[in-house]
């Protein structure tokens, strides 16, 4: 359970919050840029496998936001439309993050290959750009991200996506049941691929998680019947 801060000072020994979260900090001096290049035959096969599974699960993509610059891995963001009880829901899904296995520590029970999923009322280029950046992050920095990790938007965190208070990304298993078992259908090089759901938090909510652990923030989301569709105008639950 980690929080990542690009602008903090790197430390030799892991920093741990009161709630048990390991705090990873990344200084600008040690920040690694995404390598340029072209993916090989294996990545092309993985892309085909993902496309087939996504087609089965989401239908035809309305729009595909292609990564123009050739980077490794190549990250596209797919836009799908679903009809829910509250009307149309836009589902944004990365495709390409799972081309590479993440550097998950030994004895840690977490998927090595993931893709990101986000639910909103309508697409926004900022959503897509953030998802693409986040998909590259663990590969660039030779680290990993997983469920219950928090990632602040800078130091101090800056508001995300038009919200005046939401400034931190919280990653969770998808709350939508049909999206919670991707690993049953998508297996790449022996690894089941799982979705991580992007949930924006406020600084106060993130601090609660750091102080009291993931269960505290999960309870808070449940108490407030947190919707799966992003609302930039929601109030802080803390």
pLDDT exceeds 80 at position 130: yes
Buried b (16+ CB within 10 A) or exposed e, 181-216: ebeeebebeebbbbbbbbbbbbbebbbbbbebbbee
Looking at residue 46, what is its pLDDT?
Answer: 97
What would the 3-class secondary structure string for 29-63 be? HHCCCCCECCCCHHHHHHHHHHHHHHHHHHCCCCE
pLDDT exceeds 50 at position 73: yes
Task: Return the higher-pLDDT residue of 7 and 53.
Answer: 53
> Burial of 29 by CB count in 10 Å (0-12 exposed, 13-18 middle, 19+ buried)?
exposed
Looking at residue 28, what is its pLDDT?
Answer: 64
Q: Could you read off the pLDDT of 8-47 as tens digits, one per residue?
A: 434 446 677 666 667 666 666 666 777 787 778 899 999 9
pTM to 2 decimals? 0.89
Domain ranges (residues) in the chain: 2-8+15-26+53-223
């Amino acid at each position: 359970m980690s929080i990542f801060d690009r602008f903090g000072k790197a430390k030799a020994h892991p920093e741990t919050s009161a709630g048990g979260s390991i705090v990873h900090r990344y200084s600008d001096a040690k920040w690694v840029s995404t390598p340029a290049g072209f993916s090989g035959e294996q990545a092309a096969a993985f892309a085909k496998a993902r496309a087939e599974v996504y087609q089965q699960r989401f239908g035809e993509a309305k729009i595909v936001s292609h990564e123009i610059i050739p980077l490794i891995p190549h990250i596209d963001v797919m836009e799908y439309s679903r009809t829910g009880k509250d009307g149309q829901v836009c589902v944004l899904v990365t495709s390409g993050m799972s081309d590479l296995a993440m550097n998950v520590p030994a004895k840690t029970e977490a998927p090595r290959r993931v893709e990101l999923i986000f639910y909103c009322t309508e697409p926004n280029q900022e959503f897509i750009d953030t998802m693409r950046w986040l998909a590259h992050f663990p590969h660039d920095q030779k680290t990993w991200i997983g469920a219950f990790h928090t990632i602040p938007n800078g130091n101090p965190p800056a508001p995300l996506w038009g919200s005046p208070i939401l400034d931190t990304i919280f990653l969770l298993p998808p709350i939508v049941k049909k999206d919670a078992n991707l690993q049953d259908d998508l297996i790449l090089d022996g690894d089941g691929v799982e979705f991580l759901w992007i949930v924006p938090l406020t600084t106060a909510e993130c601090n609660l998680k750091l102080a009291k652990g993931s269960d505290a923030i999960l309870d808070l989301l449940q108490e407030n019947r947190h919707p799966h569709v992003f609302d930039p105008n929601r109030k802080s639950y803390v």
